[in-house]
A and B are shown apart, each in its own frame.
Chain A
Amino acid sequence: MEEKKLIEFRNIVKSFDGQIVLKGINLDIYENEFVTLLGPSGCGKTTLLRILGGFLDADEGSVIFDGEEISKKPPYERELNTVFQKYALFPHLSVYENIAFGLKIKKMSKDVIDQKVMKMLRLIGLEGFEDKNTTLLSGGQQQRVAIARALVNEPKVLLLDEPLAALDLKLRKEMQYELKRIQQEVGITFIFVTHDQEEALTMSDKIVVMNHGEIQQVGSPQDIYNEPVNRFVANFIGESNILPGVMLEDYKVRFDDITFDCVDFGFKENEPVDVVIRPEDIDIVDVKDGKMTGEVLSVLFKGVHYEIIVETVPGTSVTVNMRVIKNQDVTSEDGKEKISANNFYVDIDDVEDLDDKEVIARANAQAWDPESDEYISIAKIEYEVAKEEGQYPVVFATSNGTKVERTIFVVDQPFVKNEKANEGIMAFNFVKTVDEITESQALDTDLKTWANAQGWKLSDEEQSVDISVDYEFDPEKVTEGVYPITFWTTGREFKIHTTDYSEEGQEVGLTFFPEDIHVMSRTGY
């Protein structure tokens, strides 16, 4: 089939109120294609469609339609029709009059109009509805009338702006088939805008994935699904396992410390890449047969398949002690001031970073007027710490001389290293009062701060790792004592879609074919 270019977008730029919505779009659309513009809301897809329809002017660039520059033409002179998001049916006209609107404008004879409208009503399956008031039709019926009203003008292109968004799930599925059928029957180009990736995959010949006003990838649904060019596309289209890896040489990729055969080539040697494996491409097998092994963390029944999470690389964890003490504020002799502070732990490597501010923060030192509850500034701090393990006194005082003495523990804290997961984490014992815990607004975050918990990539210490926190005490009813707090990271998890059931906690092997590994360049994201 010889394909003919119908629409060319040339470097389209558009901004609203200084915000750039389209950053130079270049796109060709051919005859008889079902093209979908796909992307999250705000990606510019509707703006591009409205520029094509003539309802918006581009700031820069040109639109070429059938070999002719149309950027300056008003909408009523363009040979294309639109199905609007909320249908925009004329409420003062009947179904028949709505469909006949464009034909009447063209001053066609009455019997020709009659014929064409009746043909359209048959196409959309609404024969016998011609005299109905459009406001009394169901959403699906209104949708069909909107399509008929556009198609009856025999445009070369039909633009559809999220036309199915307002329908319920079942009706939406029906209309997807219906639209595809109509497109094949009338044989014209459909340009369809949606944020629903499933809709796009079902209906399109060609999908244009957009994000932040830029085209990310153009291709057939199969291309887009199987060979996403970058992390955004892989994430947006379907569910996927995306993991960092290194392309050792052509057809060899290494991730999670294992080297795999793959079908990708053309990367630089040892180029860092992102690897995508679709959940349905992974099979669960016996441990001895697996390319990777892991533990089943969870099994969810999803109707057609199970969604199974397997952890191949365990996470990292570290447990520290939290000593809870009773409130221990010091009151000045005249009773007009109170001051409090805590002992704290500091790593030997961090000693040189300590300054007055840091010491106040770590000790959570504060002074206040017990009557008015107003804070009083801590005017004086005296401490002397050396880069050597040991205990060092610190004194906090207000300008009136109310003071409290505490201890800084300098320790040489070993961090927990997880070579397999390429990460290290560390945390410190700490001391808190009962009040500080019960009054905490966001305890997880506070615990991380108090323990100075941190995680990083072994390969790159600048890159931090997300840490979660577990504890077993009841923060509302905590009493004096010592409590273990565990900080941990999630390991490498694979999401797998399979029809076979697995037990949670089972050790399993994972296998996949070389062609199921999709390697994406990190540039261009």
Chain B
Amino acid sequence: MKRFSQLAWPYIVWAALMLVLPMALIAAYSFMEQGNSIISFSFTLEHYAKFFTDQDFLLILWRSLVIAVKTTIICFFLGYPAAYFIARSKEKTQNILILCVTIPMWINMLVRTYAWIGLLSEGGLIQQILSIFGLGDQELLYTEGAVLLGMVYNFLPFMILQIQTSLSKMDHSLVEASADLGANPVQTFRRVTFPLSLPGVINGITLVFLPAVSSFFIPKLLGGGQYFLIGNMIENQFITVGEWNFGSAISMIMAVIMMLLMMAVRKIEIRNQGGKEE
């Protein structure tokens, strides 16, 4: 491995310039008084205090977490059966199905989300279909449902691909061994297949939850002005209000929350490893 360590250098340089440095700047900004620059640094906690003392801000944070959790749960329950079905198909079918899952990702996410506006808007296709069943007066666009739909639609492939990969990698003889030991198909799934697919599930959850909690253009486009999430708030602080320091503080709070959540999720994975490692 050591021989190849040289190859990591380009990435290390890139990461330092593009990831670590900006992160450090955001962290610094969040502890800085308004209007300060790096040269004349004066420490303050006022931005954090502002966030935690304002009911509205906390509500937005809570709402963002709730919708991200909802998105993740829906993606999991839609994605797992799909992934299971794909992983159990013949190799040729598998390739075609994976292609079907990934094809939408070839088109820009923003474009696809705009398409949903057309579909959901008043007099749009979906409302017309619903009106056949007498449900035509339902408001669709600019609701929580629309935002949720947009997120599930955009992030579902990540869940499916992660779970499908871990299921395909699984040795089929384990399923046979389980049946051999008297487990019926349901028991085999519960005791063998599902636990072994957990790494994929956790990766899937991570890849869905993280973009969902910080997404800003989906709530902006499909939620209109009504449905304001933390991502929109950060965007607002930087672009409209111009309060970079406050925006940085919100970003830092989000980063810490996500880190804690991910650490909790990893814990489940480690607990699932079976037996002590020497």
Contact = CB atoms under 8 A, between A and B. Distances in A.
A133 interface: yes
Given A92-B272, A133-B277, A53 B182 contact: no
Interface in A71-93: 74-76, 81-82, 84-86, 88-93
Contacts of B176: 53, 55, 75, 82, 84, 88
A95 B198 CA distance: 20
B278 A102 contact: no
Contacts of B278: 132, 136
A106 interface: yes
B20 interface: no
A121 B155 CA distance: 47
Looking at chain A's contact residues, the main secondary structure is mixed
Contacts of A102: 181-182
Interface string A96-113: 110001101110000000
Nearest to B276: A131
Nearest to B272: A92
Contacts of A96: 275
A96 B277 CA distance: 14
Given A90-B174, A90-B192, A91-B196, A82 B274 contact: no
Contact of A76 (B174, B183, B195, B198): B183
Interface residues of B, number: 25
B275 A131 contact: yes
Interface in A473-506: none
A220 interface: no
B177 A84 contact: yes
A interface, size bucket: 20 to 34
Contacts of A133: 273-277
A105 B174 contact: no
A76 B179 contact: yes
A74 B181 contact: no
B95 to A, nearest CB: 21
Contact of B275 (A75, A93, A153): A93
Given A82-B177, A84-B176, A101-B191, A90 B274 contact: yes
Contact of A88 (B177, B182, B184): B177
B268 to A, nearest CB: 12
Contacts of A82: 176-177, 180
Interface string A184-201: 000000000000000000
B94 interface: no
A101 B181 contact: yes
Nearest to A79: B182
A93 B191 CA distance: 10
Nearest to A96: B275
Interface of B: 171, 173-174, 176-184, 187, 191-192, 195-196, 198, 272-278
16 contacts: A74-B184, A75-B179, A75-B180, A76-B180, A76-B182, A76-B184, A89-B177, A92-B272, A94-B274, A95-B275, A97-B274, A131-B275, A132-B278, A133-B273, A133-B274, A150-B181
Given A88-B174, A92-B273, A101-B178, 16 more contacts: A55-B176, A75-B179, A75-B180, A76-B182, A84-B176, A88-B171, A88-B176, A92-B274, A94-B276, A102-B181, A102-B182, A105-B183, A131-B275, A133-B277, A134-B275, A150-B181
